[in-house]
Amino acid sequence: MLLDGEAIKSCTMLAVQAEGSSITTIEGLASGDRFRELADAMTAEHALQCGFCTPGVVVSLVALLDTRGDPDREEVLAALDGNICRCTGYNGVLRAVERVAAIRRGERPEPMAGVALADPVVVTDVRAGGVAGADVEVV
């Protein structure tokens, strides 16, 4: 979660410690442009798989991109410290951050073949997972 704009591990903090602070969770980011920009890049770079780690990764990267618009790989890896992903190997996540930084520099990176950006994700079985925080239509 973001505490006053800084990514923190919510599991290591007592609720009383957040008194008077601004708290933003993945759900709070879901409707904003900061989330959409990163979600599109993560989709384009195939940076998502099971979705278990996605909320923590997205919140951490939004905070990083808010403070360092064009982070290098070491900064991205430092921001991801504590977010454990067993599916992606982080390469797609690193490429997604590089994609966002390139777009912010005014570049137009090519989307990967077959990826329609900003389209809703359709989940036919909610128990099978989905993309955390994305525009999800359950059918």
> Is residue 117 within 8 Å of 62, Cβ to Cβ?
no
pTM for this one? Answer: 0.70
CB atoms within 10 A of CB 66: 13
pLDDT at residue 102, rounded to an integer: 92
First to last CA, the chain: 29
Q: Please provide the CATH number assigned to the domain covering 30-109+118-138.
A: 1.10.150.120
pLDDT of residue 124: 39
Each domain of the chain, given as residue ranges in start order, spans 30-109+118-138
- pLDDT value for 9: 85
pLDDT score of 111: 65
What is the model's pLDDT at position 136? 41
- Taking CB atoms within 8 Å and a gap of at least 24, the contacts of 103-111 are 103/37, 103/41, 104/69, 104/70, 105/70, 109/44, 111/44
Q: What is the pLDDT of residue 112?
A: 61
Q: Which residues of the chain have pLDDT under 50?
A: 115-139
